Chain A
Amino acid sequence: GDSVTQMEGPVTLSEEAFLTINCTYTATGYPSLFWYVQYPGEGLQLLLKATKADDKGSNKGFEATYRKETTSFHLEKGSVQVSDSAVYFCALRTGSARQLTFGSGTQLTVLP
């Protein structure tokens, strides 16, 4: 079945540091890929998405590129802020499926 593997957390960075959170997947067919963010005490929010190979999703300074050859969708940000502290989930959806398959989540803490 489909699966998503994220780098283990927690990740702690200083403000303005560069962020990478690794995500790889296995899936039948060609999935759509997503990053969701969960701020403390809140539900998940869609951060960015990509629906086909080589697409780059971007939002709020975050970027991720759909790499079919390496089955990866790594999340990056050039300069993190304290307000980026949250849990980040990589997810996928294949074909006509109506459910998302999530990774285990990565806790990010950004220190001032």
Chain B
Amino acid sequence: EAQVTQNPRYLITVTGKKLTVTCSQNMNHEYMSWYRQDPGLGLRQIYYSMNVEVTDKGDVPEGYKVSRKEKRNFPLILESPSPNQTSLYFCASFSGRAIDTQYFGPGTRLTVL
């Protein structure tokens, strides 16, 4: 089954404690993205990756890092989380041959105290 998986699904942490949210896809997609969803703002892109070792900033990259060492994985790293990063995070992937069909993971709800 084609899918995008994220872990953890829920996370409560404290300010400054480094964390990583993992994302994995099994469709051999070149493109992967991270979005955050906040009430009244819809989804905003944080970072995206066009392929292994190729990443670029989205609209709201401050406070986040990403890496793409393998095609299937695209972890999101918060090195020093702050309360304004409390949000719902989604990973997405798609093929360069079908850029209008994006697949989203189930989401990770992060709370930073």
Contacts and interface: CB of A to CB of B under 8 A. Distances in A.
**Is chain B a partner of chain A in the same complex?**
yes
Interface of A: 4, 32, 34, 36, 41-46, 49, 51, 89, 93, 98-100, 102-105
A103 B50 contact: no
Contacts, number: 50
Nearest to B38: A104
B42 A43 contact: no
B100 A44 contact: no
Contacts of A32: 100
Given A43-B90, A104-B41, A51 B4 contact: no
Contacts of B100: 32, 34, 49, 51, 93
A98 B104 contact: no
A32 B102 CA distance: 13
A45 B104 CA distance: 7
Interface of B: 4, 31, 33, 35, 37, 40-45, 48, 50, 58-59, 90, 92, 99-102, 104-107
Contacts of B107: 41-43
A104 B64 CA distance: 22
Contact of A44 (B50, B59, B90, B99): B90
Nearest to B49: A98
Contacts of A34: 100
Top 9 closest A-B pairs, CB basis? A43-B104, A102-B42, A44-B104, A102-B43, A104-B42, A99-B45, A43-B106, A43-B105, A104-B40
A41 B4 CA distance: 14
B106 A46 contact: no
Given A43-B105, A46-B101, 12 more contacts: A34-B100, A36-B104, A42-B106, A44-B104, A93-B100, A99-B45, A100-B45, A103-B42, A104-B41, A104-B42, A105-B37, A105-B42
